Structures are given as C-alpha cells and as structure tokens.
C-alpha cells in the first residue's frame, strides 16, 4: 500500500502523561520549547490530531448544535483549492467540529490547510457546513475510522509523503494498533504527575478491537535543554516480535 511515512511526536511527563497540571509547571517550559523545535526535524507536510485535541486547541470548538436540514450530499471526498502545501488533518468521524475558516494559523507555525476526516455516518447538514467554509474532507470508513485507507488517500489526494501524528492518546493508539505507525518520537519532561485520570501517550478506547501490545526498537537518545530527554523508536514489525503467539 502506498502511504506516507508516519511519525508519532509527543511530549510526556516522566509517568507517561500527555496532559494535566504538569504542563503549566515552569520546569516543563524549556522542554515544551524543545518539543516544538523538534517538530521541524521530521520535515512533515502534515500533522494529524484527534477530535478531542482538535476541539481543545485547533478548531473553532464544536459546530452549532442545530445545523439547517439539507438535501442529500454524496459521500464523496472534497478537495478544496489551497495556497499552501502544509496541512492539519483533523479526525472527526462523527462530524462535530466547528470552523470559521479553511486554514489554521498558529503563532510560530506555518499556515495550514484543514482536511477533515469523516466517516459515512456524518449528516448532510454537516457536509453542507464544511462546504460553506470550503473545507476539504475525506471519507475513511463507514462508521469506524479506517486508518490505512486514510493514509492512502492523504498520499494520493494531497501528495503527503511524511505525516506527523501528534495526539491525543486514543488517536496515537488507533494508528499504532492498525499497524501503520513507523516511528515514535517521545520528548520527556522532568516532572511526574501521579494522577490516574490524565491521558497517556497511548490510550485504548472501548470502540477499538482487542490487539496485542506493540514493541519498539530504540533508534536514538538525546539529552535536551531543561533536563528533558528525546527518545526515538521505530515500531517492531508484529509477528517478528512473537507477540501474537504470546498473547492470543
């Protein structure tokens, strides 16, 4: 299958948490800066986020609750014209995110063209809402997300050769368990949180099938400013590691 090379790039506490109170600690600030700087290292044309992360940090919150009823829209991919070749890929299987433009411009980040990732269950009203802002959308699955199909479409429709997946935990696990994650880039901050409710680097939600754990091979370790560490791992091919036999 032709698809982009996929890197998961995350900032975590010493106890593997990707959100929570530690994020605003002064000791986390220099490491968070390093995390941002390293984003450039991978030369990715696109960054993908899950629905919760999009809603919290990138989209205009949620779409209005009552969108006007619409005639039937074909469940067909829509690719808007773009004046940039940098993309934010927004997982939104149910079509709930809010928008006011087809680009996202964040301080210190290149202007990015939004690509909404939907499943066929979205309403006609939501498709009409995306059309209103001329936002690109791709269908990847009927009711559940098909990660492999999505990657194939990102390559063929947008020419994306290198994709960064940057959270949250459910999204990271979705791509890892689907066997389409190539590399993990983990920046660790010298703080511990200890709480049991914060999101971890990988989170297994109820809606995904049971899969065995995944093993990695260490590629590089570097000390960062502010006592941070940067770990680079590649994903070990399943089967070769013997995990299926061990767990099933």
Ligand X SMILES: NC(=O)c1ccc[n+]([C@@H]2O[C@H](COP(=O)([O-])OP(=O)(O)OC[C@H]3O[C@@H](n4cnc5c(N)ncnc54)[C@H](OP(=O)(O)O)[C@@H]3O)[C@@H](O)[C@H]2O)c1
Question: Interaction with ligand X in 6-45: which residues (CB under 6 A)?
Answer: 10-11, 18-19
Q: Does 171 bind ligand X (CB under 6 A)?
A: yes
Size of the site for ligand X (CB under 6 A): 26
Could you tell me the two tokens for 58? 């990138």
* Candidate residues 28, 47, 174, 185; the one interacting with ligand X per rule CB under 6 A: 174
| Burial track 30-51 (b if 16+ CB lie within 10 A, e otherwise) | bbbebbeebbeebebbbbbbbb
Q: Does 228 bind ligand X (CB under 6 A)?
A: no
d(CA 204, CA 208): 7
Residue 25: how many CA atoms within 13 Å on its side-chain side? 16
d(CA 184, CA 236): 11
**Residue 98 CB, nearest distance to ligand X (Å)?**
13
- Whichever of 159 and 195 has its CB closer to ligand X, that residue is 195
**Residue 86 CB, nearest distance to ligand X (Å)?**
18
* Candidate residues 151, 160, 167, 214; the one interacting with ligand X per rule CB under 6 A: 167
What is the x/- site pattern for ligand X, positions 121-160, by CB under 6 A? -----------------------xx---------------
Q: How many CB atoms sit inside 10 A of residue 119's CB?
A: 19
Helix (H, G, I), strand (E, B) or coil at 90: strand
- Whichever of 117 and 160 has its CB closer to ligand X, that residue is 117
d(CA 213, CA 51): 24
What is the x/- site pattern for ligand X, positions 89-128, by CB under 6 A? --x-xx-x--------------------------------
């Amino acid at each position: 299958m032709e698809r982009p090379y996929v890197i998961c790039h995350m900032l975590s506490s010493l106890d593997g948490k990707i959100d929570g109170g530690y994020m605003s600690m002064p000791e986390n600030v220099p490491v968070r800066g390093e995390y941002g700087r390293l984003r450039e290292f991978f030369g990715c044309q696109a960054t993908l986020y899950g629905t919760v992360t999009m809603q919290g940090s990138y989209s205009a919150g949620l779409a209005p609750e009552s969108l006007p009823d619409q005639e039937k829209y074909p469940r067909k991919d829509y690719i808007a014209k773009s004046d940039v070749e940098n993309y934010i890929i927004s997982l939104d299987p149910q079509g709930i995110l809010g928008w006011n433009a087809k680009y996202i411009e964040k301080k210190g980040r290149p202007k990015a063209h939004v690509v909404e990732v939907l499943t066929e269950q979205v309403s006609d009203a939501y498709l009409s809402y995306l059309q209103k802002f001329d936002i690109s959308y791709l269908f990847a699955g009927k009711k559940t997300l098909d990660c492999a199909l999505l990657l194939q479409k990102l390559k063929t429709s947008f020419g994306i050769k290198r994709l960064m997946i940057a959270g949250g935990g459910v999204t990271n696990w979705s791509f890892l368990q689907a066997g389409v994650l190539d590399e993990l880039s983990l920046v660790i901050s010298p703080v511990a949180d200890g709480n049991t409710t914060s999101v971890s680097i990988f989170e297994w939600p109820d809606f995904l099938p049971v899969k065995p754990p995944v093993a990695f091979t260490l590629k590089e370790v570097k000390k960062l400013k502010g006592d941070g560490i940067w770990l680079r791992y590649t994903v070990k091919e399943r089967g070769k590691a013997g995990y299926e036999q061990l767990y099933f």
